[in-house]
A and B are shown apart, each in its own frame.
Chain A
C-alpha cells in the first residue's frame, strides 16, 4: 500500500508559500501522492488550482483530487482542467470524482441537487470520451488521468465499475473501508469489468503536542453539515504515532492500494512528523 499526504487546502490561514513548501517536503519524503479536498461554500483553495501550484514545484509525486464534486462543474471544462493538469504534470493526476454531500455547495454554485446522481453518471460517461476524442485538448498522456469514483450508494459503485479505474473511499475506520471495498469489488465483477478496481482510502491526523483541540475543532467545523456525526469524525482524528500505525495496518489488511492522510493542523512540521511515523 502506498501512502500519500493531504495538502492543507482546507485549513485556515495557509499561504501560497506554505502550500508549495508542503508540496516540496512531501515530494522529498516517503509519500506517493498529494491529496486535496473540494468544497465551494468554505474557505479553502480550489483543488485544481492548488494542485497546479503543487505540480509546479514537484517532479515525482502524484497529484490527487479526493474528490472533486463533479456535478458542480461544467463537464467539458472539468475534463479540460483535468487534462491540462495531467499534461502539465507529465501524467501525474489521479482524478477522484463524486457527487459530494453538502447541500450548501450546490446552493452557492446554483446547481439543482436533485438528479445529481444521474447527471454525474452522464458526466462520467462523457469525460473519457472528451479526453480520447481530442477535440477538447490538451491531449493527455495515455488514455487520460487515472479516474476514480467515490460514494457509498449502490448507484455510485455501479458508476465506478462502468467508467472508473477504481474506488475512492470517504474515510472512516478500516472496517468501514473494508466493507465498501468489498461492495466495490462486487459491483466491478457484476458488471463484467476485467481485473479489479484500484482502491484509495483516507484519514485525518494531527501529530505533536500541539493543539489537538484546534484540530478537532477544524473537523467539527468542516463536517458540521453531517450534524452530530461531525463529533465522531473529530474523535476519529489520528493524534498519536501508534494510532496512525494501527490505522495504516488496518487499511493495508483491507486491501487498500493507496491511503492519503490529511492534516488537521496547518503547520509544516506535520509533514516531517508523519514522514517519521511511516518510515
Chain B
C-alpha cells in the first residue's frame, strides 16, 4: 500500500506512524506545509481513557507523552471576585509542540517519509497513492475538494475567541469571568507544563466590537486582555502565536470517505474547544482507521468500518460540546447567581455531569452548594445552616405559600393518590371552566358538585403535607375527544359537542372543525375563568394554574400556527397574547394566592412558537402578575416534530427563569432525584415535575 497523508497535525502524524508500524513494507508519505517546529496554539488537554487508547496503540510514544504531561485534578472558577475550587476531576495536558515533536521523531524512526514546507494544492499530486488521508484541519483542502461527496455542514458559533499562552503557573483548569462595560469576557485556561498555560479568551461579538478588538493588532489585543485579567495574571504576560480572534466552527460531515480519500481529525469533524477533545478525537480516529485497514483486505470495507465505528462516538462528543458551547455563549444570563450556584451550573453544563457525579468527585464542594441552597431556601442567606438536605428536599416559597419540598407532580385523576407520594405540590388534572371546554366526557367541569368533591380532596392532600394547585383550562379545538384510556385526540363518535377556537382549523384530520371565536365568545371566556377563580377560593386550593399550553384554547390563541385571526386577537405576539392576558388579569383581580401559568415554550414546528418567543411570553405573564411559569413543549398541532430526550423541557425553564427573572417549574422527562437535584442546584428551575413513569 502507498499512503499519502496531507497535514502534519496530531491526526496525520499519528496515523502515519501507526500505519507504518502496522505494515513496515507499506509506503507512507506525509506532507506538511509548515516547518517541523512551527506550530500554532499552545497546550491541549487529554482524559484518562484517551491515554489508555494511546498506550495500546503505540507504547513508545505513549511513554514519552506520559513523561511530558502536566497533571492536575481541580477546576477553579473565578467569578465576582471570588474563587471557587472543585476537585476530583482528572486532567492531563501537554504542549502541542512537544506532542508533535514526539510524533515526528517516532515517524522518522519508523521510516515515514516526512515532507515539511510543502503545501498541497490539489489531490492529483498523489495520483500514485492507494489511499489519500486528509488530515489537513478544519479548513483543509481535502474536505473542500470533496464537499460534493462528504456533504459538510458548518455551524459558526456566535462568540469570538482567541488562543493565547501565558507564563502564569496554574494548578487547575481555570475559568475566569469578568464583566467590564464592554460586556462579559471569559477565560478558559489550563496548564500544560510547570511554567506555561493555554489562555483562551472568549466574549460575545458585540463586546468584542465595543472593546475595539475588531481592528486591534495582536499586541493591542494582548494589552487589552492583560489589563482585563490583571488580577488573575498577577503580573504575568500573555503570549501570542498567530493569535487571531475567530469564531469557532463546528463541522459535521455525512461521509468521511469518498473513493480512495478519507478524512480524519479536524478535517472530518470539530467539537467546541470548551470540552477540550479535538486532539483526542483526532488521535482516536487515527487508531480506528489503522485498525480498520488492518482488519479488511477491501479498502472500501475498511473505510466504511472506520466511519461506522467513529461517527457515533464523535457525534456524542459533538452533542456535549454543543451544550457546553451554548452555555458559554449564554453565560451572561447567570451573571446574578451566587458564586456557588454559578460554579455548580458551570460544572453541570452538559447533561453528562450530574449532582451525584459531582458528589462522588468532590463531596465537599457539593455540601457547600447544599448548605448555601438550604440556607437560601430557609430564608437565612448568611448560611447559618450546618447540615442541609439535597436541594429537592428544601422548602420553597411561592408568593405567600410555603411548599415542603421542591418536587411537583401532576395528578392524573385522584389528587390523593398523588399527594401520598409526598410531593410538595400536586397539580390537579385538567379541570374545565365550561362544558364545551372539556377534553373528554371524563374531564371534570368546575361546577358546584366538583367543587364539593375537590374540597374533600384538598383537605386530605393537606393532611399529607402537600399543597394543591387547581389546573383551570378550556380545551378549545382539542375538546370532544374520547377518554384517554382509549388513546389521545381520538374524537368522540357519540355525544360530541361543538368546539371553539381562535381560527377554524381542526386539530386532527378526523376531529371536528371548531367555530371561530366571536368577540362575545372571547368576553365570555374571560368571565368563565374569572368565575372559576372566584369559586376556587372557596375550595381551599393553594394555587391556581392556568393552562395556556399544549394546544388548548388559550395556547391556540398564542401560536401563529393556530391563530390566523385578523382582529385585535391575532397577528402580532401582543395581539395573540391579548386573550391570555385578559384572562390572567381577570383571574389575578379576584385571586390573591399564587398563580401559575403553563405555556408551550416551543411548538416543535417551523413557523410556530420558539424559545425566544416563550421568553417574551413569560415576560408578559410576569408583568401581568403571574407568580410562576411552568413551561411544557409541543402539542400545539397534531403532527409536529417532538424531541423526547431526557430533560427535554429544562432548557425552556432555564431560559425563562434566568432571562425573565420569574420562578419556574421544570417539566419533561425528569425521572430521577439526581436530575431534580442537578436542575435545582444549577438554578435551572425552582421546582421540578417528577415524571411518575
Closest to B307 in A: A228
Known: A133-B493, A231-B305. A158 touches B640 (CB 8 A): yes
Asked if residues A155 and B641 are in contact (CB atoms below 8 Å), the reply is: yes
10 further interface pairs, Cβ-Cβ under 8 Å (given A125-B489, A189-B693): A118-B639, A143-B486, A162-B489, A163-B490, A186-B648, A190-B669, A192-B412, A193-B484, A194-B412, A228-B308
A sample of 18 inter-chain contacts (CB < 8 A) reads A121-B638, A122-B509, A125-B509, A128-B486, A128-B490, A153-B641, A154-B643, A163-B488, A182-B671, A185-B669, A186-B648, A187-B642, A190-B632, A190-B669, A191-B488, A194-B412, A227-B304, A231-B304
Interface string of A177-216 (1 = CB under 8 A from B): 0000011111101111110100000000000000000000
Contacts from B to A (Cβ < 8 Å): 301, 304-305, 307-308, 412, 484-490, 493, 508-510, 604, 632-635, 638-646, 648, 668-669, 671, 691-693
Asked if residues A232 and B641 are in contact (CB atoms below 8 Å), the reply is: no
Known: A186-B668, A194-B484, A232-B308. A129 touches B412 (CB 8 A): no
Asked if residues B488 and A183 are in contact (CB atoms below 8 Å), the reply is: no
- Chain A residues with CB below 8 A from B645, complex form: 183, 186
Bound form: Cα–Cα A275–B549 in Å? 51
- Chain A residues with CB below 8 A from B632, complex form: 190
Bound form: Cα–Cα A117–B639 in Å? 9
Residue from B308, B487, B489, B508 having most chain A Cβ neighbours under 10 A: B487
A182, chain B: closest CB distance, angstroms? 7
Bound form: Cα–Cα A52–B604 in Å? 41
B195, chain A: closest CB distance, angstroms? 44
- Asked if A229 lies at the interface with its beta carbon under 8 angstroms from chain B, I say yes
A126, chain B: closest CB distance, angstroms? 7
Asked if residues A125 and B485 are in contact (CB atoms below 8 Å), the reply is: no
Contacts from A to B (Cβ < 8 Å): 117-118, 121-122, 125-126, 128-129, 133, 143, 153-155, 157-158, 161-163, 182-187, 189-194, 196, 227-229, 231-232
- Chain B residues with CB below 8 A from A193, complex form: 484, 487-488
- Chain B residues with CB below 8 A from A161, complex form: 488
Asked if residues A157 and B510 are in contact (CB atoms below 8 Å), the reply is: no
Closest to B646 in A: A182
Closest 5 CB pairs of A and B: A228-B304, A154-B642, A186-B669, A186-B644, A183-B644
Residue from A183, A187, A190, A232 having most chain B Cβ neighbours under 10 A: A190
Q: Give the interface SS of chain A, mostly helix, strand, loop or mixed.
A: helix
- Chain A residues with CB below 8 A from B691, complex form: 185-186, 189
Residue from B301, B510, B639, B668 having most chain A Cβ neighbours under 10 A: B639
- Chain B residues with CB below 8 A from A196, complex form: 693
A94, chain B: closest CB distance, angstroms? 17
Asked if residues A191 and B635 are in contact (CB atoms below 8 Å), the reply is: yes
Bound form: Cα–Cα A231–B485 in Å? 42
A254, chain B: closest CB distance, angstroms? 14
Bound form: Cα–Cα A162–B669 in Å? 17
A136, chain B: closest CB distance, angstroms? 15
Bound form: Cα–Cα A133–B148 in Å? 53
- Chain A residues with CB below 8 A from B671, complex form: 182
- Chain A residues with CB below 8 A from B693, complex form: 185, 189, 196
Closest to B510 in A: A125
A257, chain B: closest CB distance, angstroms? 15
A82, chain B: closest CB distance, angstroms? 16
Bound form: Cα–Cα A193–B482 in Å? 12
